[in-house]
Amino acid sequence: MSTEPRYITTPIYYVNDRPHIGHIYTTTICDIWAKFQRLTGQDVFFLTGTDEHGVKVEQSAAERGVSPQALADEVSKVFHGALKEFDLSNDAFIRTTDPQHETQVQQFVKRLMDSGDVYLGTFEGWYDAGQEEYYTETKAREANYISPISGKPLERAEEQNYYFRLSAYQSRLEQLFEDRPDLVRPEARRNEVLGRLREGLQDVPVSRTNFTWGIHMPDAPEHVIYVWIDALFNYITALGLGDPSSDWYAERHRYWPASMQIIGKEILWFHAVIWPALLMALELPLPHCIYAHSFWISEGKKMSKSMGNFIDLETLQQYVDTYSRDGLRFYLATQGPLGATDADFSRSQFHDVYTTELVNTLGNCASRTSAMIGKYCGGQCPTDTGACAGGGIEWDSFTQTQMETAIAAMNRFDLPGSISAAMAIVRQVDAFINETAPFKLAKDPANAEQVGNILYRCAESIRIAACLLEATLPEHVAELRTAWNLGAATNDLTSQCAWGQLKPGTDINKVALFPRVDEAS
Ligand code: MSP
């Protein structure tokens, strides 16, 4: 079993907003990946956190009459609490107000000043004040000089500031995207980046003087480091890369470069262009993959508080109360906007997916199998002696293939693909039960051996499917483990999925994993 450091990150979330489905989604899909990798024995580090500096936080705090630090403390705690509530297994939670982060950011910026990658200069351009982002002339024109995010006009702005010499990285970035077609995914997002790159790169500001809530430039404290530069560095400050004498470095530096940096599509440019260029300038290795998912909309429309379709933590909690935490994880992972198109979070679709996949397929199959073992085999796992009616299927090689597919899909962050490979095992079991009809065979005691053989295959296949689904449905798989006496999960998924681990004679208790839910609830 090989153990490799694997590092996965979410964006760090702004503290001027409360957590909602978008944040929970990104963190949940990272959590599923992290749990899955841990189950395969990898040495995983999963990072999330909060982005606490900048004009927006300063303004929100002023509006509420509190200090920016007080606002950051309060909201960061809410994000932190949400992680616990949704059982998300991050290994660390970085805050950009952590002193360890702040001093390392200054170190990195100092290094960039020394190398000439950061210089003092003047800049003029179209500025989206809400997003704190400059637009190229073409992009500004395409947007009709209006922010597509806030709907407010872009402003013409000029600044005397420190700049990062992004333009110097144009050809190296072009070469990079050519050499590493899988760096930015999915493909549609990569093409978007390439298109914009062709327009040519401008240098980007790394400091501002129009606000004070942030990290000060080394040697020029009237300049505050631009929130995006500050924030991007979180991925490496959390590993202590800017301070080799720190504990963070000692414990975590092995995780760089990141395996997966998961973001939403709206922050692609920062992550796919500015971030790699900063890393190149610091002579640090680049992440293996930057994956930009699309957005959830809600009941067919963009989520908005005034439209009443906003999915906040309380709404998500209601889904959890009705359909369980695993039900929510399954829905997010299988129906979410992982590809290049947005996904619709709809109450009726949620209900249908839960009912079809979890109640009628996984839950029903496990309950049918355990009920029959209870009835025909005295509640104990039968022995498979080989003779079996119907179903020419080679279960050992079939489950092995599904396992390989599930692992390979998860490694490329294809969560729906991985889950569907596991669910295919369950469907096959269902079809096998229908085809061989052990409940009919059992009427004649002469068929006892065959019935046992069939039910062994069913139970063993469900066990393997459950192991593959454990990262997505941890609570329910734990329930199955207890009911079927399967022992605790190990970190060796491949051997756990080997055919024949289920020992004849084991007590197999009846399970009802996913209760049916009334649509109206
Ligand atoms: N602080 C920056 C990121 C800095 S990373 C160095 C930021 N924060 S945010 O609070 O606005 O969070 C944005 C992220 O939340 C998105 O990139 C995405 O991961 C998630 N989502 C927010 N709304 C979303 C949807 N409606 N749908 C899916 N995910 C979205 O940007």
Q: If you ran DSSP here, which 8-state letter would residue 240 be given?
A: T
Predicted confidence at residue 2, as pLDDT, reads 67
| SS3 assignment, position 108 | helix
Angle subtended by helix axes 313-323 and 21-39, to nearest 10: 50
The residue nearest atom 19 of ligand 1, judged by CA position, is 264
Predicted confidence at residue 451, as pLDDT, reads 96
Pocket test for ligand 1, best of 295, 302, 312, 344 (most atoms within 8 A of CB): 295
Judged on CB neighbours under 10 Å (0-12, 13-18, 19+), 311 is buried
270 phi-psi bin (left φ>0, alpha ψ -120 to 50, beta other): alpha
Q: If you ran DSSP here, which 8-state letter would residue 51 be given?
A: E
Q: Mark 148-164 as b/e (b = at least 16 C-beta within 10 Å).
A: eeeeeebeeeebebbbb
Distance CA 278, CA 201 (A): 14
Straight-line distance from the first to the last Cα atom of the chain, in angstroms, rounded to the nearest whole number: 46
- Tens digits of residue pLDDT in 172-192: 999 999 999 999 999 999 999
Band of the pLDDT at 307, cuts 50, 70, 90? confident
Q: If you ran DSSP here, which 8-state letter would residue 116 be given?
A: T
Predicted confidence at residue 426, as pLDDT, reads 98
Which residues face 220 on adjacent strands?
217
- Distance between Cα 63 and ligand 1 center (Å): 23
Q: Backbone phi, then psi, for 246, in 5-degree steps?
A: -85, 165
CB atoms within 10 A of CB 19: 22
Predicted confidence at residue 156, as pLDDT, reads 92
Q: Could you identify the residue written with the tokens 């899988």?
A: 182
**C-alpha pair distances (Å), 439 with each of 16, 434, 443, 459:** 59, 9, 7, 15
Return the higher-pLDDT residue of 150 and 265: 265
- Tens digits of residue pLDDT in 424-446: 999 999 999 999 999 999 999 99
- Tens digits of residue pLDDT in 499-515: 999 999 999 999 999 99
Q: Once rounded to an integer, what is the mean pLDDT over residues 84-109?
A: 98
25 CB less than 6 Å from ligand 1? Answer: yes
Residues 6+ apart with CB under 8 A from 19: 13, 78, 79, 82, 312, 313
Distance CA 512, CA 483 (A): 10
Ligand 1, residue 232: give the atom nearest the CA. 6
List strands edge to edge, sheet with 133-135.
133-135, 118-128, 155-164, 204-205
Pocket test for ligand 1, best of 8, 9, 10, 13 (most atoms within 8 A of CB): 13
Angle CA 348–352–357, to nearest 5:
155
The residue nearest atom 13 of ligand 1, judged by CA position, is 13
Predicted confidence at residue 249, as pLDDT, reads 98
Q: Once rounded to an integer, what is the mean pLDDT over residues 69-86?
A: 97
Band of the pLDDT at 209, cuts 50, 70, 90? confident
> Taking all residues of the chain, what is their mean pLDDT, rounded to a whole number?
95
Predicted confidence at residue 400, as pLDDT, reads 98
Q: β-pairing, 220-225 with 207-208?
A: antiparallel
Residues 6+ apart with CB under 8 A from 486: 463, 466, 480, 502
- Distance between Cα 244 and ligand 1 center (Å): 30
Distance CA 251, CA 486 (A): 34
Distance CA 107, CA 261 (A): 23
Which residue from 232, 181, 173 is spatially nearest to 9, judged by alpha carbons? 232
Q: Once rounded to an integer, what is the mean pLDDT over residues 333-362?
A: 97
Distance CA 139, CA 373 (A): 64
Predicted confidence at residue 391, as pLDDT, reads 59
Angle subtended by helix axes 325-335 and 474-483, to nearest 10: 120
Ligand 1, residue 294: give the atom nearest the CA. 28
Predicted confidence at residue 92, as pLDDT, reads 98
- Distance between Cα 240 and ligand 1 center (Å): 24
51 CB less than 6 Å from ligand 1? Answer: yes
By the 8 A CB rule, do 162 and 223 touch? yes
Predicted confidence at residue 129, as pLDDT, reads 87
Judged on CB neighbours under 10 Å (0-12, 13-18, 19+), 130 is middle
Predicted confidence at residue 390, as pLDDT, reads 62
Ligand 1, residue 13: give the atom nearest the CA. 10
5 phi-psi bin (left φ>0, alpha ψ -120 to 50, beta other): beta
Band of the pLDDT at 360, cuts 50, 70, 90? very high
Residues 6+ apart with CB under 8 A from 7: 44, 45, 46, 47, 239, 255, 256, 257, 258, 259, 260
CA–centroid distance for 212 within its chain: 33
Q: If you ran DSSP here, which 8-state letter would residue 354 be given?
A: I
Identity of residue 140: A
List strands edge to edge, sheet with 207-208.
207-208, 220-225, 216-217
The residue nearest atom 6 of ligand 1, judged by CA position, is 232
- Tens digits of residue pLDDT in 452-473: 999 999 999 999 999 999 999 9
- Structure tokens of 144? 């009709």
pLDDT for residue 304 is more than 90: no
* Alpha helices, H only, 437-486: 438-441, 448-469, 474-483
- Distance between Cα 247 and ligand 1 center (Å): 29
Predicted confidence at residue 1, as pLDDT, reads 58
The percent of residues above 90 in pLDDT, for the chain, comes to 89
- Distance between Cα 11 and ligand 1 center (Å): 6
357 CB less than 6 Å from ligand 1? Answer: no
pLDDT for residue 102 is more than 90: yes
SS3 readout for 384-441: CCCCCCCCCCCHHHHHHHHHHHHHHHHHCCCHHHHHHHHHHHHHHHHHHHHHHCHHHH
